[in-house]
Every structure is written in C-alpha cells, then in structure tokens.
Structure 1
Amino acid sequence: MTDASSLAEDYLRLHAQLRPVDATFMGLSGHDHQLPPASLDCVDAELDALATLRGRLRHASRPTTAGARLDAGLLGAQLTVTEAELRRAPRQQNPAWATGEAAFSVISLLLPGEHSGAAERADALRVRLEALPGFLGEARAHLQGRGAPGDWTRRACLEAHATANLLERGLPRHPLWQAPMQGPAYRAVRALRAHADELSRLPTTGTVACGEAHLDLLMREGHGLAFGPREALEQATLAFERLSRELEEDAARLTPHHSWQEQVAGLEQVTPAPGRVTDAYRASHEAALDAAAGLVTPERTYDLDFRSVPDWAVGTADLYFLFYRSPAPRRPGTGSVYWVFPPGEDLGAYLRAHNTSVIKLVHAVHHGSIGHHTHNARARNADSVLARVAGTDCASGIAMLSAGTSVEGWACYAEDLLLEAPGFYSPTEALLLKSFERRNAASCIADIKLHLGEWSLDDMRAFYRDQANFAPARIWSETTRNSMFPATRLMYWLGTEAIKDLRAELNLPAQTFHDALLAHGHAPVSWIAEELRQAHTQETA
C-alpha cells in the first residue's frame, strides 16, 4: 500500500498541473511556462482527478509517524475543501480568479529567488505572455450567463488594468526583459484591457455569503477545529467585548483623559528620519531576533534582505503584491527579500504609516524575525511533505487553507510573545498590541457573520470603520478579500488562541514549546497540538 507522504507528493504534482502559478511560487519545477487550465470542462476534470486521489488515500497504509499523520490530514482536508468549493462555487466563476492568476503568472517570474536560469525564466515569461489572451478568453466563458458580486468584478477590473500597466511600463524596466517579449506583452496588454471592459458589463448578483454548512466544513475539515461558526462567533464576541474594556482601563492607567485610540494614534508621530525607513526595518528586525533569546530559536542563517521596491513593481498597488512573501519552499536559496515601499507625494503621510512602532510590530516581528520569517524556515524542514509548502503565498492567498491557523496564528502570537522580553515594547506599544488582538477578534466576528448571511458587505464595512479600528484605506480591499475567501480572516484570532491554550496546557519551557510547535510546519494548530500532546505523554511516561 502507498503511504500518505507518497500520496502527498502525488498531490503536489497534480496541484502543479492545475495551479501552475502556485507551482512557481512553491518552487515546483517544470510549470513556469504554463497558465491554469481554464476550458469549460476544467472543473469536471479537476473533480475527477481529485476523486481518483481520494480513492488512493482511502486505501493508503495507516500513518505511523507525525509527518505521515499530518500529510494524511492535510491531503484529506485539501481534497474535501477543494471538492466542496468546486461543487458550490468554482473559483473559475469568480472574475478576480483569472485576473489574479494573470498578474502573478508574470510577477512570480520577476521576483528574486532561486529560479531556473535567466534564459529559461525569460522563455517561460514569454510563453505565459503569449498565452494570456487565450487564457482570459477561456476564463470569460465561465462567466457567461452568470452574474458576480459587484465588488469582485471591481477588484478584477482593477487587477486587469494594473497588470496591463505593469506589462506596459514596468516589465521593460526589469532585467529579464528581452526584445522578443515586446509583441506578446503588447497583445497581453490589449487583452487585459478588453477583458476589463467585458467584465464591467457583467450583471451584479447579491449575496456573497457561503452559508453556514460550507463555513462549518471549512472550519472543521479545513482548519481542523473541533467547533463550528456559532461557537467561534460566541468566543470572538466575548473576547471583543473584554478587550474593548481592557483597552479603556489600560489607557486610563497609562495616560488619563486620553482614549486608547488617541494614545495609539500618537505613535504615528514617532517616525524614522526621511530616507532611513529601510534602515529602521533592518534595525528592528535585528533587535527582535535578539529579544527572542530564551523564548524561541530565531532564524539567523537564512537571510532576510530589506530592499526598496524596484522601479518595475512600483505600480502594483491594486495587486496582491506583498512586502514579505514566503520564499519558495522547494527552492528557497540562501535568503529572501522584504520590500519597503517608497514614499509618495505626501512624505508626512508616508512616515506616519511607517512609524517606528508599526515597523517594529508589523514588519519586524509579525512578518520578519520570529514571525513568518522564522516559521517559514522551520516549515521547510518539517517531516510532513505538505506542511512544508501549505503556507506558501500564491496569487490570492496561501496555497492550502489548512495552513492558516498556524501561519497567521503564529505570526500574531509572536507579536505578543515579545511582551515577555523586558523592555522590547513601550507601554503604549503594548496598548497597540492589544488593539491588534481586538481587531483580529473583530475580523473573526465579521468573517462569520458575513458568511452566515447575517451581515452584508456594507454591514461588515461599517463595523470595521466604526468599531474595529481598521485603517479606512484598507477596508474595501480587506472586506472584498474576506467575501471571496470565507474562513480566511477568522484563522488569525482562532489560531492565536489555540497556541495560547496549548502552551498553557503543556506548560513546557518557552523555547522548548515554541521550537517544537514550529518544527511541525504549516498545518492546523489543532493537529499539531495532538502531536505535541502525544510526544509530551511519551516523554513523561
């Protein structure tokens, strides 16, 4: 019989065929020249391929190691979630699917990393550019006779125009640019703009809710949770109320007569000197690595290079262009890049957005140092085949939903972990941290209420604006993503809480617990918890 880890490798080969842009980001060789299948029969073909693999999984040998157990769980969850989504609402029927894949089919080959040689990448890029007009035409066929939520169509149009601008203005500035790309790029630009015009005429449908049954499946099967949306909503609502009270009480003790919102906003005035923002990122990253001593083993051998966003990528604001993107786990090289965006016309607004505290908490800790940076490095050495790659950042989100509670749960937990490093945060920064926790609880509430159908997108946006303390500029894009990808915003708070609960339960030394947790890679925290409990029981027997 075949074991789960061998089937996991087979699944990755299938995943690369069905989602070749994901494959480029994951470092799965042989697919850099391809675009996703988009013919009208591609949904049925994918369901057939998944059913075949599921049949093989049912007859696989019983897993006897932690890595094989996680592979069996991750593979089963991925098959279940993907099949359910293909039957309920195939991704091909979301107008933003094709535009996201189109954009990142190009960007994935332009980013620095351990790709194939420049000549091979240039050839793959040219082939993808040549294929884009046909791909967009096939993708539109999935939308004929259907409507789409207006915000999804708007996002798709923004992405199409942004990608056209990238090909027209940015690509010729990239070192990979060659004269033979000019014709394919020109035709791709025309196709993208025509595609946006066609999309703008799509009829608008109403609800974006996935419904309670599907949300429950995503939570229990995808995230491996022991409870569904109603219980999670109750937990998050109680936490939001508690954190709201605590913020008011903490603020009153810290600076009477100034609300916590005013005190947190005051942090925007403490900024790096103009021209030294990138230096501030690097210095905060190094300080966080040092502060983590005794709490977790930080990643120091794999480099994180802070660089200004290159000229070719400056016009990517309407795309899912991340300042930190997880390195390709199958081709990580010796380091990765953290992009620092340049100032615009309003230098003051730029510095406020890149204030010293945000650089420290968000960029240095959550994404860099002991956050995603360390977690991704540890995951690449996990025993589970799929837990090494499941958290890879792809065109629209991470490769596998099941990675979410550990990927985002750990990064949010890491922010709070450095409260245990004396002097790393100021008292006002501790207040900011608690406001982040409150915002994550709010996002959990909103994710669930939206997809239960209890809130509209307008309700969700009003909540984010009036109660959750979201930056106004983030609200539309954040909520639109929430609506397209149910159960992806609740994983931040629920993942963090699961790690906190497990640490309290096992009561291990901090560094021992955190290193063991991260060693299992990108899998549901609840499944990792079972492995840690089993190991702890064996050690203490």
Structure 2
Amino acid sequence: MNGLQHLVDRYLDLFARTRPVDATFMGLKGHDGQLPPSGSEAVRQEQAELTALLQDAEAAGLTPDTPADRLDLFLLRSQLRVTLREAQERPRQHNPAWYTGEAAFGLISLLLPGPQPTRAAAVTARLQAIPAFLEDGTRTLTPLNLPPDWVERARHEAAALEALLRRGLPLHPDWQADWADPAADAADAVQRFGTRLTPGTADPACGRAYLEFLMREAHALPFTAEEAEGLAAAAFGTLRADLEAMALQRDSGRSWREQLAALELQHPALDELPGTYRIWHERALDAAAPLMTPAREYGLNFEFLPAWAREAAGALYFLFYRSPAAQAPGTGSVYWIFPPGPDEDAYLRGQNVPFIKAVHAVHHGSVGHHTQNARARQAASRLARLGGTDGASGIAFLSAGTLIEGWACYAEDLLLEIPGFYTPAEELLLKQFEMRNAACCLADLRLHTGRWSLDEVRAFYRDEVGFAPGRVWAETTRNSIYPATRLMYWLGTRAIRALRAELPLQVQDFHDRLLSYGHAPVTWIAAELRRITAPQGVA
C-alpha cells in the first residue's frame, strides 16, 4: 500500500529528527551528529507535526489486506497517539534524566563496536552540542516541580557522564585529539546541569486514565487497570505459595530465600566468566532446537566491559545486551560482562552459574532477546523491525514491550521443557523470577493508579518480592518514570502461554510464527495467528 508506506516514511523522518539518538541505535542514517531538539519551540513543533500526521493517517481510510501492512498501520497509529499524548501530558523534556540519558548515549551509541568504524565527526558534533542541549534543559526544568527521585537519578547520570567525558573517552581506542576541548566543555556543562537541578515534591504517578491509555493504545491489552491488578494480585499470591511449597519440598530446614542465597556459591573463577557465559549460551541454543529455531546465523561474543566505559556504565542505562541496529546489524554483536568492583567475592557471588544460565544465557542471549531480535530484523512490517531498539532510556516503541520482555521471560521457562537443562535448585530460582514479574506488574499498576506511594512500592519490593536492597531504589525510580513498562513482562508472558495453549500449532511452528512478526504487541500477533489457524471460512 503506497499510501501507507508514505505515511510510514513521514513518521520515520519525524522520529529520526526528534529522536536522533534512537535513530543512531536503529541504524537510520543522517542524524548521527545531532542531539534531540529540546527547547519549548521544538516541543510545540513536534506536537504540531504529530497531530498533522495522525490526522492524515486516520483520514486516509486505509484497509490493509496483509499482516505486514496491518501491523505497520497499527504501529503507526499507536506511536502517533502515544507520543502525542505523552507530549501533551507527560513530556519527556520534563524529566531531568532524559537530558542526561540522551547526552550520554548520544556519544555511547557512536562509541560501541559495530559493523562500521567510529564516526569521529559525529562524535565531535555531539560533544559540541551537549552544552546548548543541557542549557535548554535547565531553562525548561527550572520552573517545574520535579519528583525528587527523578532529580537524584539525573544527578547520578550526570556524574557518570562527566566521568565518561573527563576520564573514559580518552581511553577509547578511537580517541581523537580534537575531541579533547569539546569533551572538556561538555563535561563542564554536565557538571553545571547537575548542580542546578532542584528537587521538588511532585507525585511521579501518571494516573489511572493515562495508564489505561498506554495499556490500550500501546500494548493493545483487552482489560482495565483494575482487571489487570486483580490478575496480578492473584498470580502473586499463587506463585508465592508455589515458591514456598517448592522450597519446603526441597529442604524443610531452609526458606526459599536461604536456598536461593546458597546458589551464589556456585560461581566460576573471574577469568572463566566469558567462557561460562558462552558455554551456557551455546548449550541453550542446542537444548531449545526441538522447541523453536534458534538464531545461529548471527554471532554473539562475550567480553568484559571495555576500560573506557567502566566508570560510567553503572549509573547509566548501559545494558549487558543491546539490540543490534536493525538497519545495520553486521554479522554479530557483543554481550558485555560487567567487571568486578572493590569486593570481588560479592561480585563473583552475583556471577553464579544459575543466574548466568537463566538471565544472561537464556533471557538475554541464545533463544531470548538474541533470537527474538534476529527474527524481528526479518519481519515483513517495517516498523516492527525497529520498535524494539534499545535507546538511551528504554525500547523505542512501548508497543514492542509485551513481545520483547514477555518472550524473554517465557524463554527462561521454556527450557524447563528440556529435561536436565535446569537443576531442581535452578527451578526454584525461575519460580522466584516469575513471582517477581507478577509482583512488579502489580506494583506498576498500584503506583500509577495512586494506590501505592513510591515508598510503599519500595517496601514491597524489598520485603515481599526479594529484590536485592541495592537494586530497589533504581528499579522503582525507573518504574515511576516509565508507566506501563514493568507490567509488560508478566502480562506478555501470560499472553504467550495462553496463545500457545489455544492454537492448534506444533510447538516449533508456534514459536517460529510468533517471533516472525517482529516487535509487536502479543495481543496483535495473537489476532493474526488466529486468522491463519481458523477453520476455512471462519475469521
């Protein structure tokens, strides 16, 4: 449909101009030297363009007759509606961590290894753009009543970015002498930005109406926040009871927390970590072969985080695994292993084999995000190839979330169907992960509908869910900034399981078809798969 694809072209042009850092991560060309337009006039201009494009898309009267076109139209309308309402009610320019994240990953997106050499001129241009970008941010943020935790997060990120600019960047193998002066100017600007931020008292909750809008328009979920809360609360209670029963059966003298803590002793030596990651990645690829078609055609290399990124990475959205650029993926990508800090023993306990297997080898690597992204790059829908791109703060299209995170969590449990892949103790760990996802869905809903405060969410995560104390603040602050993101893990997994039980497809066929659509809501994929599997004459 030429009319539809013209609209998609217009949207991608607008997206790249207003979100050039995400465009770099996607592999879209032409914007690598830019940071996002951020002044008040730029915000008004973006809203005007979004409104005009949405009106054109809705007035076009398009009736696509292929799955790819139907998905492109859905994603186009979804993105326009979600982005426009965000700009009107909860603009990203009103979040101080948006400025630090975009500035940091504007550089990092160009410095990570990839199929093309480092674009030195683009690095220079983004370094030079940081001071004005952050000055715009200060002018925008100064009159606002900001949630205090958002300010604290931005300050942490500003300190990390300053460390990257002053000490990390000169360690990059492609360091250029002419980066020195603009890097120093940028570092000074980052320091000023952080010191000028003033925490306020604003409630970070988005409200029920906005949350349900995201559930409906982005995730295409068929229920209200109240209905979703009921499902998540019931599941949390059941899974908590299941976890306690499993622990009791395994060892009546130790709680589930104690049994899971004992898994931390099962760790390799420091120099064995890359090999351990790779071994379990490859074993997972082999084990899953009867259940799906793993992505073996695209490489994944396990390496310790490079020296230039080490000081800055911890406070930033620096992922172990980042989705390869859909438009320029090359032949493989890197999976980063974060290096130890001052306490090597604590670090190695965190690098235990059960966690490496479930989280690094399966959820992120092998048949999890690694395979899902490889299949998405081959999707017929143009927008579905791009929506799951990891950007400066999260995935590019919220609508991709139930499939991306739903699939990766589902993949962890999928390998339970292969006898011997997990030990009984590791099965207990997976049950805790599932309980945690239901709990985080519940917290997302209760925080943003106003039932729980941020402090109540933190107490729940710490006391009931079993999050490591050091992770609670960062996790909950992120939840408060991005509503309807934590719910997509459990609700996405739930939808995939229900769809598999419903459809008359062989297991491998089901999984391969599911992933073939790319980055799309699971509920939308379900509707398309029902079309295919419906008896002839029934649609």
> Is the TM-score greater than 0.5?
yes
Q: Distance in 2 between matches of 1:344 and 1:161?
A: 18
Residues of 1 paired with 2:486 and 2:506: CA distance?
Answer: 30
- The match for 2:40 is 40
- Aligned residue for 1:188, secondary structure, equals helix
* CA–CA separation in structure 1 for the residues paired with 2:473 and 2:534: 47
Q: 1:134 aligns with which of 132, 142, 145?
A: 132
Instruction: Find the counterpart in structure 1 of residue 193 from structure 2.
Output: 195
Q: Deviations for 1:337-393, whole angstroms, at most 9, x for unmatched residues? A: 000111222121111100000000000000000000000000000011111010000
Q: Tell me if the contact between 2:399 and 2:521 (Cα under 8 Å) persists in the aligned partners.
A: yes
Matches within 5 A, 1:501-512: 501-512=498-509
Gapped regions of structure 2 (runs ≥ 5): none
Q: Deviations over 1:83-104 (max 9, x none)?
A: 1111112110111111110010
1:185 aligned partner: 183
Amino acid across the alignment from 2:390: D
Maintained 8 Å contact 1:146/1:203: no
Indicate yes or no: 2:47 matched with 1:51. Answer: no
Tell me the secondary structure at the aligned position of residue 388 of structure 2: coil
Q: One-letter code of the match for 1:471?
A: A
* Matching of residues 316-331 of structure 1 within 5 Å: 316-331=313-328
Match of 1:520 among 517, 520, 523: 517
Deviation at 1:140, TM superposition (A): 1.4
C-alpha change, 1:205 and 1:296, in structure 2 (3 Å) is: same
Instruction: Call closer, same or farther: CA 1:67–1:538 in 2, change over 3 Å.
Output: farther
Deviation at 1:139, TM superposition (A): 1.4
1:437-493 deviation per Cα after TM superposition (whole angstroms, max 9, x unaligned): 000000001001100111111100000000011111111111000000000000000
Residue 273 (structure 1) shift: 2.2
Residue 376 of structure 2 is matched in structure 1 by: 379
| Residues 1:94 and 2:95 are matched in the alignment | yes
> What amino acid does structure 1 have at the position aligned with 2:68?
G
1:212 maps to what in 2? Answer: 208
Q: Using the alignment, how far apart are the partners of 1:533 and 1:173 within structure 2?
A: 53
Give the alignment of 1:14-163 within 5 angstroms. Answer: 14-58=14-58, 59-115=60-116, 117-118=117-118, 121-163=119-161
Deviation at 1:538, TM superposition (A): 5.7
Runs of 4+ in 1 over 4 A off after TM superposition: 538-541
1:229 CA drift (Å): 0.8
1:358 aligned partner: 355
Deviation at residue 62 of structure 1 after TM alignment:
1.3
2:10 and 2:286 mapped to 1: Cα distance? 41
Q: Which residue of 2 aligns with 1:283?
A: 279
Distance 1:144 1:348 in 2: 43
Counterpart of 1:299 in structure 2 is 295
The residue that corresponds to 2:172 in the other structure is: 174
Give the distance between the partners of 2:516 and 2:10, measured in 1 at CA.
23
Alignment of 1:529 with 2:509, yes or no, is no
Q: From the superposition, tell whether residues 507 and 257 of structure 1 become closer, same or farther in structure 2 (CA, over 3 Å).
A: farther
Which secondary structure does the structure 1 equivalent of 2:113 belong to?
coil
Deviation by residue 1:193-239 (Cα, 9 ceiling, x = unmatched): 0111111xx24123111000000000011100011211000000000
Q: Select the residue among 215, 224, 235 that pairs with 2:220.
A: 224
* Count of residues in Structure 1 that have an aligned counterpart in Structure 2: 536
For residues 99-151 of structure 1, give each alpha carbon's deviation from its aligned partner in whole angstroms, at most 9, with x where no partner exists: 11001001000001124x44xx1000001101110110011111131120111
- Which residue number corresponds to residue 478 of structure 1? 475
Q: Cα distance 1:420–1:203, how it changes in 2: closer, same or farther (>3 A)? A: closer
Partner amino acid, structure 2, of 1:174: H
Deviation digits for residues 1-53 of structure 1 (CA, Å, limit 9, x no counterpart): 84434422321111000000000001001100001001211221111111121
Corresponding residue for 1:421?
A: 418
Matched, 1:453 2:450: yes
Q: Unaligned stretches of 5+ in structure 1? A: none
Asked whether the 8 Å contact 1:4–1:60 carries over to 2, the reply is no
State the 1:539 CA deviation.
6.9
* Matching residue of 1:468: 465
Q: Please, which of 437, 441, 444 is the counterpart of residue 440 of structure 1? A: 437
Gap change, CA 1:283 and 1:539, over 3 Å in 2: farther
Distance change >3 Å, CA 540–CA 426, structure 1 → 2: farther
Mapped partners of 1:314, 1:277: distance in 2:
17
SS at match of 1:32: coil
Counterpart-to-counterpart distance in 2, 1:295 and 1:10: 39
CA–CA separation in structure 1 for the residues paired with 2:417 and 2:392: 35
Alignment partners' CA distance in 2, 1:457 and 1:203: 15
SS of residue in 2 equivalent to 1:205: coil
Secondary structure class of the residue paired with 2:461: helix
Distance across 2 between alignment mates of 1:326 and 1:225: 25
SS state at 1:467 partner: helix
Mean Cα displacement is larger for which, 426-435 or 246-255?
Answer: 246-255
Q: Give the Cα separation in 2 of the matches to 1:485 and 1:98.
A: 15
- Aligned mates of 1:189, 1:251 — CA distance in 2: 51
Amino acid in structure 2 at the alignment position of 1:72: L
Contact 2:504 2:533 in 1 (8 A): no
Aligned-residue sequence identity (percent) comes to: 56
> What's 1:247 paired with?
243
**Secondary structure in 2 matching 1:136:** helix
Residue 61 (structure 1) shift: 2.7
Provide the alpha-carbon RMSD of the alignment.
1.2
Of stretches 210-219 and 54-63 in structure 1, the one that deviates more from structure 2 is 54-63
Q: Which amino acid aligns with 1:205?
A: T
CA distance in 2, matches of 1:137, 1:103: 15
Native 8 Å contact 1:129 1:184 kept in 2: yes
